[in-house]
Amino acid sequence: MKNNKLSILLRGIIAENPVLILILGTCPTLAVTGNVTSALSMGLAATVVLICSNVVISALRKVIPDTVRVPCYIVIIAAFVTAVQMLLQAFLPSIYEMLGVYLALIVVNCVILGRAEMFARKNTVLDSAFDGLGMGLGFILALFLMAFIREVFGAGSFMGIELGFMQKFKIPVLAAAPGGFLVYGILIAVMNKLTEKKGGVKKKSFSCEGCPSAAICTSKPCLNNEKKEEVENA
């Protein structure tokens, strides 16, 4: 049993890393990884919201009617995001300023709604808490990796501290907006290469499967689904 919990935890970190394998939560991933400090604070804030919302959604999974579950999830998540926002504003105003609008946008972060939809609504409270923790750690790890590459090679600093020897070799575009897309693309390619050798992990293509709208889309022909292609081909 304990082994099972551990595997749920570890799965989120590597095999089903939300950012690099499941391709969820692309917006914050790209937006806050310009420097390590904001990436870590974003990762922590999202993890707190993810664990809390997973626990509550899983606890209420028998109460919430299936047809209105997405709005219910959004309200629960928005409540926790507001709580995190207020805590940060009160105790860490500098981080609150730095994350700006992206903090409020945790509400529509695909990782959180995606996990509610894929995991929390089908599993027990404890399992969901572990899943939230694992996914959160995977999210932090991926954000840290991207921010590390972008800040060290792009700005020649680490958590705001200048690295003297990097100043000559820095590539400023990496820390700017285009660098976000570039580093993310290359990291996914590296992950593809690594998992391909192991031959194990089944990769998901970019589709609305994990997107928060997926649940609403399933009733209609969703453009990213194979369903739509079938409709078009028919």
Interface with another protein by CB under 8 A: which range of 37-45, 56-64, 120-128, 174-182?
Answer: 174-182
Q: Does 227 interact with another protein (rule: CB under 8 A)?
A: no
Q: Residue 149: which of 136, 137, 166, 135 has the closest Cα?
A: 166
Q: Does 30 interact with another protein (rule: CB under 8 A)?
A: yes
Of the two residues 135 and 211, which places its CB atom closer to another protein in the complex?
211
For the chain, the three-class secondary structure string (H helix, E strand, C coil) is CHHHHHHHHHHHHCCCCCCCCCCCCHHHHHHCCCCHHHHHHHHHHHHHHHHHHHHHHHHCCCCCCHHHHHHHHHHHHHHHHHHHHHHHHHHCHHHHHHHCHHHHHHHHCHHHHHHHHHHHCCCCHHHHHHHHHHHHHHHHHHHHHHHHHHHHHHHCEECCEECHHHCCCCCHHHCCHHHHHHHHHHHHHHHHHHHHHHCCCCCCCCCCCCCCCHHHHCCCCCCCCHHHHHHHHC
Q: Does 93 interact with another protein (rule: CB under 8 A)?
A: no
Of the two residues 93 and 185, which places its CB atom closer to another protein in the complex?
185
Find the shortest distance in angstroms from Cβ 174 to another protein.
10
Q: Does 142 interact with another protein (rule: CB under 8 A)?
A: no
Of the two residues 37 and 192, which places its CB atom closer to another protein in the complex?
192
Residue of the chain from 15, 105, 145, 166 that contacts another protein (CB under 8 A): 105
Q: Does 171 interact with another protein (rule: CB under 8 A)?
A: no
Site for another protein in 47-86 (CB under 8 A): 71, 74-75, 78-79, 81-82, 85-86
**Site for another protein, rule CB under 8 A:** 23, 26-28, 30-31, 71, 74-75, 78-79, 81-82, 85-86, 100-101, 104-105, 107-110, 113, 173, 176-182, 184-186, 188-190, 192-193, 196, 205-208, 211-213, 216-217, 220-224
